[in-house]
Amino acid sequence: MNRTTLVARIGLLAVLLLATFGHAGSQPDVLLAWHALLLVTTLLAWWFTAPGATGHRPSAGTALALAALCLVLVVGFARAPYRFAAWLTMVEVAAFVAAFALAIRTGPRLVVWLGPALLSAGWLQTGLLFYQRFVTGDPRPAGTFNNPNYLAGWLAATVLFCAGRWITRPADRVARGSAAAAIPLLAGIAITGSRGALVGIAAGGLLLAGLVWKGLAAARRKQLVAAFVVVGVAASVAVFVRLQQPDPFRYQRLKIWRASVVPLLDAPWSGTGPGQFVREAPNLQFPDGRGALRYDRGFRTTHSDWIRVAAELGWPGVWAFGWVVVSVGAHIARRRRRSDPLDIGAVAALGALFAQSAVDNVSRAPALYLVGAVLLGLVVTIEAPVRRPVRPLWRAVVVLVAVHLFVVGDVAPWRA
C-alpha cells in the first residue's frame, strides 16, 4: 500500500466518523468541517495517483447509471426556481460521489479498516443512547444524530457489515471480534424503537442469509437462524414498546407519501426539481384531524427517498435511479456466478440502507449517505489499470476550480 492510498483511507474514515456528530453531520459547523476534509482527501488522492499502477474502478454499468442520474440532477438544477436549495442538493450529491470514488480508490482492503472505525463510533452512540434514555429520561434518544431513525439505521448497517464478515470468514479473529463487538449495538437499535431501522435490518438480514445460505455448513445455518430469531424477537419487543407510547400521528406518514406523489403527477418530466420539495410542500398540506387548527401540523420532506426521487426529479429521475439499482444488482449477481470476491457484509449493509430509504429520508443524513456511498464503492469496484494522470497544468486548474466552488458555495453560506 503506497502513501497516497494510506492518506486517502485515513481521510475517508475520518470523514465517516466526523459525520456522526452534529445532527448526523448536518449541523453547519460539522458540515463545513467534513466537507473540507473530504475535499482535501479527494484532491490529494487524485493528484498523487501513480501512473501504471494497478488500480480500481466502478463497474461500467454502475458508472453509466450514476452518470445518467447525475445528468438528470444537473438539468434539474439548471431549471430550479429556488436555486440555493438546488445548490445544496448538488453539494450533497458531490459529497456522495467523492466518498464513492475514494472508496474505490483505496481498494477492497478498506473493509479491514472500516469495521473497527464504525464500531468505535457505534459504541459511543450506543453509550449516549443509554445515558439519554435511562439518565435524562428521553423516551426516544438519538445520540448525536438528532433523529432516532437515522441513528438506528446507521447502527443497523454497522451490525450487518460486521456480521457478514464474520459469517463468511469464521476463522478470522478480527471478523469474530468485530461481530462480537457489534452485539451491544443491537441494544442501541432497540432503545430507539425505530420502525424504519427494523425494515432495514430485516431486509439486509434476509439478503445476507440468501447470499451465504448455500455455502454454510448445517451447524452454521442453525447459528444463523438462531441469531435471526433473537434479533427478530428483540426488535419486535422494541417496536411493541414504542407502539404503546401515545402518538396520534403514528400513521400520518401514509398520507404524507400520498401527498408527496402529487408533484410527479403534476410535472411528470421534471418534478419539483432537486431540493425544491420543501418549497412545494406547503401546497400539499392536508388536515391532520386533530383539534380546531386542522392544518397546524405540516411536513417539509417526503419521508421516503424513493418518493423523493420521483417528486423532485420526475420520471427521468425514477428511470435513472432504477437503472442504478438494477446495475448494482446485476453486478452482484455476475460476481456471484463467477465466484469473484464479494464482501457480503457490505452488500447486506447497503441493502439495509436501501430498504430503510423507502420509509425514511436517509439522503438528509450525511452520516448515512456517506456510509452508503462507501459501501456502494466496495460492492461495485473492480480491478483496472490506473489511467495516465492529467497534466499538472490541468490538475492545477481543477484544484483551483474546486477550491473556488468550496469557498463560494460552502464557506460563504456558512459565514452568512
What angle is formed at CA 332 by the lines to CA 331 and CA 337, rounded to 5 degrees?
A: 95
Instruction: State the pLDDT at residue 322.
Output: 97
pTM of the predicted protein model: 0.92
Q: What's the one-letter identity of residue 392?
A: P
- Name the nearest CA neighbour of 374 among 15, 103, 117: 103
Q: Does residue 162 contact residue 115 with C-beta atoms inside 8 Å?
A: yes
163/11 Cα distance (integer angstroms):
25
58/381 Cα distance (integer angstroms):
4
Lookup result for grid cell 450533497 = 92
Q: What's the one-letter identity of residue 311?
A: A
Q: How many CA atoms lie within 13 A of 396 on its CB side?
A: 3
Q: Does residue 253 contact residue 208 with C-beta atoms inside 8 Å?
A: no
Residue range of the domain that includes 221: 3-415
State how many domains the chain has: 1
Which mean pLDDT values do the consecutive 10-residue runs of the chain (416 residues) have? Answer: 81 97 95 96 81 71 96 95 92 96 89 93 96 91 94 95 85 84 91 88 90 80 78 72 59 83 93 92 77 65 94 96 96 85 90 96 96 96 72 81 91 83
Instruction: State the pLDDT at residue 10.
Output: 94
Instruction: State the pLDDT at residue 342.
Output: 79
Instruction: State the pLDDT at residue 399.
Output: 87
Q: 218-244 vs 148-168: helix axis angle to the nearest 10?
A: 170
Instruction: State the pLDDT at residue 214.
Output: 82
Residue 406 phi, psi dihedral angles, 5° rounding: -65, -45
Instruction: State the pLDDT at residue 41.
Output: 95
Residues 6+ apart with CB under 8 A from 272: 263, 279, 280, 311, 312
Lookup result for grid cell 451465504 = 212
Beta bridge partners of 384: 55
Instruction: State the pLDDT at residue 52.
Output: 46
Residues 6+ apart with CB under 8 A from 61: 327, 330, 331
- DSSP single-letter state for residue 268: T
